[in-house]
Amino acid sequence: MTERLKTTLDQWMNLVAISEAGSVQAAAERLHKSHTTLLYSIKKLESQLGTELVEVVGKKTRLTASATMLLRKAGSMLETARQLEKLSSLLSEGYESSLVISVDHLCDRRWIYDPLTRFCAENALTSVTLRETSLTATRRYVKEKLSDIAIINLPVENFPSSFFGHVKMLPVISVFHALAGQNEISQSELVNTTQIVLRDLGSENSTQGENVGWLKPQRRITVDNFDYAIDAVSSGLGFCRLPEHMIKRLNNPDIITLSVHEGFDYQVPLHVTLPKGEDTGPAARALFDLLMQDASGRKG
């Protein structure tokens, strides 16, 4: 059987108010209560706890050492109660307890984390799962409504989307590779150089996934993600296209950008969409709004 509490949160809040205000009179004014009412509440709390909480020093009534010690614990208890009330309010408004955000692997993850930090600061209820996608998987998460928010490259039919940002793709190679010191490399030279490409994570068949971009070299090495690709390039296996933001963040002295005569860099537009449409919950919409606020600064 659960033992019933002797005290109430309101009594502890009165005690905290006295501690913060410095006296019973000052706390009573802050709480819009009479001095007598507040003092009666504290005296009743003393009786319930069996210990003195206030003492008279000169003309002022202040907290005892015992009260100060108890308040160290009471503060966290009151904060927990406030959090419970806030969570209850979010639940009553239909806020989701969890969200899934699918993020195309080309996306600069900083575009996600800054808005997500602000979202978490205001929402203690909702947990968020980030799922990396590419090519077929990117569209599957939208079409099958597997995510609440989706960062995609090309818009998906019948799913309205908004511009999220551009990602510049650059060809890179190891500094130790024979092509590293050359300028104005032709595409014919690259045909004979091994190309590192990323597998279509959404394809059931690992050898027949969707292909994108220039894929003319006689030999390709296919990997699952950019981490593998970077290691492959660093080891001198061949060249690969990487997002410019990733190259800058890596700052890897073993990798350099190739200088290709015909021009070998291109911009990939990214978009954001709400796969569940009108069924999107308030938490997902709140995070979507934060993402779009940041995206507005990247337009142009």
What confidence tens digit (pLDDT) does each residue in 80-125 have? 888 888 778 777 777 898 999 999 999 999 999 999 999 999 888 8
Taking alpha carbons only, the member of 237, 235, 239, 257 closest to residue 247 is 257
Q: Is 131 exposed, middle or buried (0-12, 13-18, 19+ CB in 10 A)?
A: middle
Fold classification of 168-267 is D-Maltodextrin-Binding Protein; domain 2 (3.40.190)
Among 59-63, 176-180, 203-207, 284-288, name the most confident range: 284-288
pLDDT tens string 29-60: 999 999 889 988 989 999 999 999 988 887 77
Asked whether 101 and 90 are in contact (CB, 8 A), the reply is: no
* pTM for the predicted model, two decimal places: 0.70
For residue 2, pLDDT beyond 70? no
86 or 287, greater pLDDT: 287
CATH assignment of 9-93? Answer: 1.10.10.10
Q: Is 103 exposed, middle or buried (0-12, 13-18, 19+ CB in 10 A)?
A: buried
Query: What are the residue boundaries of the structural domains of the chain, listed by start?
Result: 9-93, 98-164+269-296, 168-267
**Structure confidence at residue 264 as a pLDDT band (50, 70, 90):** low
Taking alpha carbons only, the member of 267, 276, 300 closest to residue 143 is 276
Least confident of 129-143, 193-207, 218-232: 193-207
**% of the chain exceeding 90 in pLDDT:** 48
For residue 76, pLDDT beyond 50? yes
Give the separation between CA 168 and CA 239, rounded to whole angstroms: 16
For residue 172, pLDDT beyond 50? yes
Q: Do domains 98-164+269-296 and 168-267 have the same CATH topology?
A: yes
222 or 186, greater pLDDT: 222
CATH superfamily of 98-164+269-296: Periplasmic binding protein-like II (3.40.190.10)
According to the model, what pLDDT value does residue 63 have?
Answer: 85
